[in-house]
A and B are shown apart, each in its own frame.
Chain A
Amino acid sequence: MSSPASSAATGQPQGPLAQARLTIAFFGEVLLALARWLRGRPGPRAADLLAQLDQTGPRSLPIVALSCALIGLMLAYMGGAQLGRIGAQNFLADVVTVGMVRELAGMMTAIILAGRVGSAFAAQLATMEAGEEIDALRVLGVDPVTHLVLPRLLALLLVAPMLYGFGALAGVVAGWPAAVGVYGVSSAEYWHQCLRALTFTHLWIGLFKCMLYVALVALAGCREGLHAGRSAQAVGQATTTAVVKALVWIVTAACATTVVFTALGY
């Protein structure tokens, strides 16, 4: 709906307060749509969910695994250099394992998905908005959030554990050559320390964070797409904003969860 404060190019209200209000309202709409679906109202089409699973999951796996492997390798190099100064190279596996499982695998997965999938969500929905496809849903009384946002959000939440698992594994495995080849840790010692450091608490915290981050990625992409203007320029702007917004939200959520979990003693 147009308003005097709307930007002509993007169709979005201007000003940080108006933007924040729009974001909160959108989050509320998503929660309501989810609640309506769980209470038995018609939900997203299975075909849409499957298509989104295909787009977001298997096709993101190689790039997530590669990025996490490189981060694991860097972590091992940097960690080894610092631990070596106090003769504690044997704890290198702990640094890599806890770092990847608890913090970095989830964050890297979400960052890759923000660039690869969140931007695609924004572009798809903004193009639909420009082509009046979303108006065609609204005019039929079909809720665009149920029909377009839920399949994308659910798809990302469903693939997140798999991507997170592969990412964490790739990171830990990639730390091994650095530990063994550069810092003289034995293979047996590395793997033994990895398993010892890997606790259930680290696993569920890492998984929880990853799920939170990817939910934010999906919401940022869909929010920007659904509230884009009706021009090619607006589609481009929605795509860029979706990625930037997702990254800011991910880092903010990472900071907040780290503080909270540490304060709670986890």
Chain B
Amino acid sequence: MMPATPALQTPATPGRAGSEAGAGMPALMQVQGLSAQAGGRTILHDIDFEVRQGEVLVVMGPSGCGNTLLRHLVGLQRPLAGRVLLDGQNLHEGDEDTLAALRRRFGVMFQAGALWSSMTLGENLMLPMRLFTALSRAEREQRARDKLALVGLQDGFDLMPAQLSGGMRKRAALARALALEPKLLFLDEPGSGLDPLNTARLDALVLELRHHLGTTVVMVTHDIASVFAVADRALYLDEQAMTMTALGAPQDLLQQGPEAVRRFLGSAKALERAQ
């Protein structure tokens, strides 16, 4: 069922645009006219935006929308209409081998970590390397140890996922997402289920990755503190309109964005101040 409400899309707000990371950079991913269903219900309609190289783009909005959008961006679900282009190639067209090769250009950190529970952390990181790189076993092990060290889990190589706390599991999942050294990273609610300290630690890690490795990041989150901490641009999905209602720097959206977005960002800011 198509929505009755017309799209309320606001183009990228100016203001900080010139100073944003990724501004003026070529688009790494383009989303064109994306419509999506979940559980038989249209929940995204005619979404258009691009992910610029080197930026941290945050997707925010009501529960479910961001996750559905992310599943379409990484090719796990086929859109009802529209397309997702990575480096100009459609993520939903072509044979399985072509799509698999395309998907390996990005890493995904799932909401619950999604570490393979029958393997140690080292094995979790080395499996994609074994399947898709020509690295020797020693090189794979070294790279896995390096990635674990990068997220502060240098002693975790032989640990099983069940032995980890929530925060450690998320960091290990981040390390695994980096195993094939992708240029684009998708993070699904990295702060969910974590205390503020661990959330802030993950946010710092995201910024560090962008700064040191130049990784482009697309992050779905409901945590407004994280939005202001890491986002170069934020994209707001509106539940009623089923579309993107605003895209721009978080500060600009807070000041000049549509009413619903200002309320969304402002209420959380007020709550933060109260705390």
Contacts and interface: CB of A to CB of B under 8 A. Distances in A.
Contacts, number: 67
A1 B39 CA distance: 10
Interface stretch (A130-138, A171-179, A205-213): A130-138
B78 interface: yes
A205 B87 CA distance: 56
B74 interface: yes
Given A1-B77, A141-B99, A142-B127, A135 B114 contact: yes
Contacts of B104: 140-141
Nearest to B38: A2
Interface stretch (B18-26, B105-113, B230-238, B256-264): B105-113
A39 to B, nearest CB: 13
Contacts of B266: none
Contact of A6 (B39, B101, B114): B39
B37 A4 contact: yes
B115 interface: yes
Contacts of B76: 1, 135, 138-139
B114 A133 contact: yes
A145 to B, nearest CB: 11
A232 interface: no
A1 B78 contact: yes
Nearest to A5: B40
Contact of B40 (A3, A42, A136): A3
B74 to A, nearest CB: 5
Contacts of A131: 112, 114, 117
B103 interface: yes
A42 B134 CA distance: 13
A195 interface: no
A10 to B, nearest CB: 12
- Looking at chain A, what size class is its interface with the partner chain? 20 to 34
Q: Which of A4, A51, A141 has the most chain B CB within a 10 Å cutoff?
A: A141
Contacts of A1: 76-78
Contact of A139 (B39, B108, B115): B108
Interface residues of B, number: 32
A14 to B, nearest CB: 11
A121 B37 CA distance: 30
A154 interface: no
Given A2-B37, A2-B40, A141-B103, A132 B118 contact: no
Contacts of B118: 48, 51
Contacts of B99: 141
B100 A133 contact: no
A8 interface: yes
Interface in B60-84: 71, 74-78
A197 interface: no
A131 B38 CA distance: 18
A56 to B, nearest CB: 15
Contacts of B123: 47
B131 interface: yes
Contacts of A132: 110-112, 114
Interface in B28-50: 37-40
B128 interface: yes
Q: Which of A4, A48, A132 has the most chain B CB within a 10 Å cutoff?
A: A132
B77 A139 contact: no
Interface string B2-20: 0000000000000000000
A105 to B, nearest CB: 31
A142 B37 CA distance: 25
Nearest to B173: A136
A128 interface: yes
A47 B130 CA distance: 14
A167 B112 CA distance: 43
A133 B116 contact: yes
Contacts of B101: 141
A168 B192 CA distance: 54
Contact of B108 (A47, A51, A128, A136): A136
Contacts of A48: 118
A45 B180 CA distance: 19
Contacts of A136: 108, 110, 114-116, 176
Nearest to B123: A47
Contacts of A42: 130-131
* 5 A-B pairs closest in CB distance: A141-B100, A132-B114, A4-B40, A136-B114, A132-B110
12 contacts: A1-B77, A1-B78, A3-B40, A6-B39, A42-B130, A45-B127, A131-B114, A133-B117, A138-B76, A139-B75, A142-B127, A142-B131
Given A133-B114, A136-B116, A141-B104, 9 more contacts: A1-B77, A6-B40, A132-B114, A139-B108, A140-B132, A141-B100, A142-B127, A142-B128, A142-B131
